[in-house]
Amino acid sequence: MHPRRFLPTGPLRGRIRVPGDKSISHRAIMLSALAVGESRISGLLEGEDVLATAAAMRAMGAQVERTGEGAWAVHGVGVGSLLQPEQALEMGNSGTSTRLLMGLIASHPIQATFTGDASLSKRPMGRVIEPLSQMGAEVNASTGGKLPLILRGAAPAVPISYRLPVASAQVKSAVLLAGLNTPGVTTVIEPVPTRDHSERMLRGFGAEVSVDIEPDGTRVISVTGHAELRPQVIEVPGDPSSAAFFLVAGLVVPGSDLVVENVGLNPTRAGLVEVLRAMGGSIDEVARREVGGEPVADLRVRHSALSGIEVDPALAPSMIDEFPALFVAAALAQGTTITTGLDELRVKESDRLSVMATALQAAGARLEELEDGLVIHGSAGEPLRGTQGAIATHLDHRIAMSMAVAGLASRTGVEVDDTRPIATSFPAFETMLAQLATEEPAV
């Protein structure tokens, strides 16, 4: 265990750049490995999950090399030309790598074994196995559709039209990636919109992708097979989920005025910015631009008097990972914030509703826990009391970082029981917080 007490601070000032977006980093490596020629990627998130994707593409014939910090060069093999890996593809803890790579391999005439760590091996892959089996892939999984599993691709695979029974960007992406090497048109029907990084990047690499929106909001996404992908130069935008902690910190620490550079503002991911603005948060977009089909801006954040609101449950999918940070903002707002429709938070790295409720109450916040959300009664800008003992983060990095931010806006600080999970997802987090803190607060 690595406990640490995050103490109150003076105003947060300065400029920071958060790590690259994980979802986009995975897809950049995969699609570069399927393009013929050399792609260059900058701003790649070099966490263990993305490195698992890089190792897998290398095992299937692509040249994937690191050329500097966040800078990578990839020589691709071309759609249809993946080689059979000689050893099992070790996925670590990365569900994204597993599900997307299963899709890629499903339409190639090769066989691959997928293995993962203890945590990933508990997660069922049935949602991906179902559509890929319809396309002709053969999957032998462990009991319950879990890892380790062996996938034998089909050549030629069969194009399908698949309606997602549960909203999932990973399942959607797996089917679209399988469609790249499948003759004809492969279609995914999405009743609830999910993050659309795959569609944007597939288009950017030259695949033929169409997105039609029906009157009821259903999205019909099609990809034409035997695509020829062209190499690209990709700058990965900053991860909005990592930026979230600094946006909230800037809003709740008095006197703060900071800039978070190069933040991805994809509308399927930027719900938190919308909600914080609705609460009265001052978040200005500076130098808005488009990079690789993704909207990006520098965000200037200033300390603001926040007001409680009722958060529209329809926004939940676009900010599902940011709710722990939002709960901290709500605890310091004027009035009550109501969140509902968050059942999914109970099955993340921890039960984020109950863990955040317990942690915030320990720090002096007033709230009630609902079955599918929290009702938080804010302190009207008064600092939270702070914690006496350490709060349990249940090895969940987002809980640890959210409560670190709560500590900055408390009287006596907030002690987090273990900061190690932060290092796996955002190693520079504590350094960046320290860099922004100006001076000790006047007592």
Name the residue among 43, 20, 28, 26 with its Cα closest to residue 229.
Answer: 28
Rounded Cα distance between 131 and 436, Å, is: 47
Residues 6+ apart with CB under 8 A from 147: 91, 98, 114, 115, 116, 120, 121, 123, 125, 141
- Give the C-alpha distances (Å, rounded to integers) separating 175 from 18, 82, 198, 254: 30, 17, 11, 47
Q: Strand 4-6 and strand 414-416: pairing? A: antiparallel
4 appears as a binding residue in the annotation: no
410 appears as a binding residue in the annotation: no
Q: Is 423 helix (H, G, I), strand (E, B) or coil?
A: helix
Rounded Cα distance between 197 and 180, Å, is: 16
Where are any strands of DSSP class E within 69-135?
71-76, 89-90, 111-115
Length of the chain: 443
Rounded Cα distance between 274 and 148, Å, is: 40
173 appears as a binding residue in the annotation: no
Q: Which of the residues are catalytic?
A: 321
22 appears as a binding residue in the annotation: yes
Joined tokens for residue 137:
């892939």
170 appears as a binding residue in the annotation: yes
269 appears as a binding residue in the annotation: no
The b-or-e profile of 129-161 (16+ CB within 10 A means b, else e) is: bebbebbbbebebeeebbbbbebbbbebbebbe
168 appears as a binding residue in the annotation: yes
Q: What are phi and psi of 276, to 5 degrees?
A: -65, -35
127 appears as a binding residue in the annotation: no
CA 139 from chain centre, in angstroms, equals: 27
The b-or-e profile of 227-255 (16+ CB within 10 A means b, else e) is: bebebbebbbbbbbbbbbbbbbbbbbbee
123 appears as a binding residue in the annotation: yes
95 appears as a binding residue in the annotation: yes
277 appears as a binding residue in the annotation: no
Binding-site sequence positions for 3-phosphoshikimate: 22-23, 27, 168, 170, 321, 348
Q: Output the known binding site for phosphoenolpyruvate.
A: 22, 95, 123, 170, 352, 398
Which residue positions form the known binding site?
22-23, 27, 95, 123, 168, 170, 321, 348, 352, 398
